[in-house]
Amino acid sequence: MRADAERNRERVLEAARSVFAEQGLDASTNEIARRAGVGVATLFRRFPTRDDLVGAVFADRMAAYVAATDEALADPDPWHGFCGYIERVCQMQADDRGFADVLTLTFPTAKALEDDRNRAAEGLGVLLERAKATGKLREDFAHQDVPLILMANAGVVTATRDAAPDAWKRLVGYLIQAFAAEAFQPLPEPPSPRQVYRALLRLST
């Protein structure tokens, strides 16, 4: 690849990163190209589909997402690790509107992200088992509840980002107390894993 091409590729990635962070995944391509100081054609030549661009932009964020599960697993107290994990991931959503979309709304199918997602899900399963084993996480917590949290958090975050950027912490505070074993009361059934998967695919056409 020619040197200027590589340079432009980087500029597009950086512009896309900030535009997605501010405006979410449905930001306009024109805006990204404009901010990168590059023609739209250049953007499309390098990233023919939106998925290509999103995949490249969020590769590192997804790595951080996977790393969050690893850190949680490294915590000697699995319940503490779990709480920290939820808070950290919700913080990531609050910090980056595009990433919130990646986690809950549009589910880009870029393969790299897909793999990361699976790895995170695996680690999360182990974490949940351990946390339940300590008796601190309620037994009926389902792994499907995690995307549910992310969707709820996304709702709060998108609504309050400008006016009350920390409002989501209150929601997460409530939820974590509800996840504690002491809070146990019967709950409605969680959605099935398949349902959650389909919900996540929703907008990725």
Partner DNA sequence: ACGTAAGTGGAGCGGGTATTCCGAATCCTC
Partner DNA sequence: GAGGATTCGGAATACCCGCTCCACTTACGT
Q: Which residues make up the interface to its own copies (CB under 8 A)?
A: 104-105, 145, 148, 151-156, 158-160, 162-164, 166-167, 169-171, 173-175, 177-180, 182-185, 187-192, 195-202
Pick from 15, 19, 25, 38 the residue near DNA by CB under 7 A.
Answer: 38
Give the residue with the Cβ less far from its own copies, 30 or 177: 177
Pick from 14, 18, 35, 50 the residue near DNA by CB under 7 A.
Answer: 50
Q: How far apart are CA 56 and CA 60, in angstroms?
A: 8
- 49 belongs to the binding site for DNA (CB under 7 A): yes
Residue given tokens 């091409």 in the structure block: 5
Give the residue with the Cβ less far from its own copies, 59 or 167: 167
Instruction: Look at residue 134 and give the partner it binds from its own copies, DNA, none, a contact being a CB closer than 5 to 8 Å depending on partner kind.
Output: none
Give the residue with the Cβ less far from its own copies, 7 or 198: 198
Give the residue with the Cβ less far from its own copies, 112 or 148: 148
CB 107 within 8 A of CB 201: yes
Distances (CA, A) of 61 to 89, 113, 165, 186, 190: 11, 10, 20, 36, 28
Q: How far apart are CA 151 and CA 165, in angstroms?
A: 17
Q: CB 130 → its own copies: shortest distance, Å?
A: 21
* Helix (H), strand (E) at residue 113: helix 111-133
CB 82 within 8 A of CB 138: no
Q: CB 128 → DNA: shortest distance, Å?
A: 38
User: Among 91, 13, 104, which residue's Cα sits nearest to residue 52?
Assistant: 13
